[in-house]
Amino acid sequence: MTSRPIELGIFKSYDIRGTYSDELDERVAEMIGRAFVDHVGPSAVAIGRDMRESSKPLFEAFARGVMTQGADVVDLGLTSTDELYFAVGKFGYPAGAMITASHNPKQYNGFKLCREGAIALSAETGVFAIRDIVARGAFKPAGRRGTMTSRDAMPDFVEHCLSFIDLDTIRPLRIAIDCGNGMGGLIVPAIFKRLPVEVIPLYFELDGSFPNHPASPIEPENMADLQRAVRESKADLGAAFDGDADRVFITDEHGELVGGDMVTALVADMLLRSHPGATILYNLICSRGVPELIAKRGGVGVRTRVGHSIIKAVMRERDAVFGGEHSGHFYFRDHYFADSGLIALLVVLELISREKKPVSELLAPLDRRFRSGEINSRVVDVPKKLEDLVGAYADAEIDRLDGVTIQYPDWWFNVRPSNTEPLLRLNVEADSRDLLETKRDEILKIIRG
């Protein structure tokens, strides 16, 4: 084991993540396990892990740290992140940890940590406190050594996911699913053997070296194989999961990419039928089509800042039935306010089954505007650039919920700073392509000028 200094930069806003084994090795993992118990104080920790080659040794080290500090370990084995959240919530464990680097390349690994009720830890609610304990290297004395038991949560998790839909409504659809050699390859077959759906599988083999493409479906190039499979097989839709299978991205029946905000609208459409008048959250990057759909269906739309710890907190405050982000994260009240791409996909399948319409037809009235996608610009003085933009569009409706949002009747944009770099992130939406391109270029000239 190395005794080099600990790389404290692995402690991020929402998780712990770094390269194995130069930034994150077994020594550091054991210390994180000890610090997690010291900070949260649980009697037991449920631990799941993904299929990365480093996940098993990191699990063993983290578990050793947890037990050294007197807490018991429940080994869930290979799981998806949404299954870990489910297990913590369903079985009443006082804490949970998922060993994964999600969509990152194979050399990365890390930890997603949560408290009781699957309440995720963020920088402000525990990750940085754990970092500081690790940095000090001073741990509380434990009166006992914890024990380890194993549990297979998969059967209960399958039942839980299927409880979100009416199984009798699902039509004999054909869908292509790309698991990217990630954890979806384990859970997807267990779910779909219960449904009258033909699955065209892509990369279901668990392989942490990601031999086909990165398990990061938010990048359009990683969706190319799925798009081709949808077109060649004449599938009703395509779905791709990231490495730990908590996010999903879909295509329509033509293989065209569907934005996360449009999936938010589709899921909201279905859930408002069974939860009339419910509160639905959407982040402020989502298209105006999302709140329009929520209002049309009689729901209460609540606009939020970007970020899962923020959305989960607001969902609990408002008792929101659902929340969605443009980034492919979809949160469900009845999933312990945690995210699950798999549940979102099942709800969309029920919607297209009930409506007997293809995805493109369901999206047509919602997805009628033009969006830039997120454009990042490195700037020297972030606050000054934000004020320059406010001054340039002083006649607009302006708010500062997250960065600056500037709205006009036929177009709007949001610019928000990165949490970790001197970057501004721009998203623009307009009612026509010409207007989008004109305003995008106009705004970028101010930001980069």
Look at residue 2 and tell me whether its pLDDT is greater than 60. Answer: no
DSSP state of 11: B
pLDDT (tens digit per residue) in 223-246: 999 999 999 999 999 999 999 999
The pTM score is 0.96
User: How large is the greatest C-alpha to C-alpha distance in the chain, in angstroms?
Assistant: 68
Mean residue pLDDT of the chain comes to 96
- CATH code: domain 370-448 is 3.30.310.50
pLDDT (tens digit per residue) in 194-214: 999 999 999 999 999 999 999
Q: What is the mean pLDDT of residues 258-262?
A: 97
Best CA proximity match to 375, nearest among 413, 328, 324, 405: 413
Best CA proximity match to 447, nearest among 424, 418, 428, 417: 424
Per-residue pLDDT band at 418 (split at 50, 70, 90): confident
* All structural domains of the chain with their residue ranges: 8-152, 156-256, 260-363, 370-448
Look at residue 420 and tell me whether its pLDDT is greater than 80. Answer: no
User: Rounded CA gap, 351 and 34, in Å?
Assistant: 45
Domains 8-152 and 370-448 share a fold: no
Phi, psi (degrees; rounded to nearest 5) at 201:
-85, 135
Percent of the chain at pLDDT exceeding 70: 99
pLDDT (0 to 100) of residue 309:
81
pLDDT (0 to 100) of residue 307:
85
Which one of 21, 55, 80, 102 is the catalytic residue?
102
pLDDT (tens digit per residue) in 138-170: 999 999 999 999 999 999 999 999 999 999 999
Annotation says 80 is catalytic: no
Greater model confidence, 420 or 206: 206
Best CA proximity match to 118, nearest among 302, 324, 315: 315
Q: What is the mean pLDDT of residues 98-109?
A: 97
Q: What is the mean pLDDT of residues 375-391?
A: 96
pLDDT (tens digit per residue) in 292-333: 999 999 999 999 999 888 899 999 999 999 999 999 999 999
Q: What is the CATH T-level fold of the domain 8-152, as seen in this structure? A: Alpha-D-Glucose-1,6-Bisphosphate; Chain A, domain 3 (3.40.120)
Q: What is the CATH T-level fold of the domain 260-363, as seen in this structure? A: Alpha-D-Glucose-1,6-Bisphosphate; Chain A, domain 3 (3.40.120)
- CATH code: domain 156-256 is 3.40.120.10
Lowest mean pLDDT, pick from 65-74, 255-264, 277-286, 415-424: 415-424
Handedness of CA 44, 24, 81, 126 (dihedral sign): positive
Q: What is the mean pLDDT of residues 432-446?
A: 98
315's CB contacts (< 8 A; 6+ apart) are 281, 323, 331, 333, 337
- 8 A C-beta contact, residue 56 and residue 49: yes
Orientation of helix 184-192 relative to helix 154-162, angle to 10°: 60
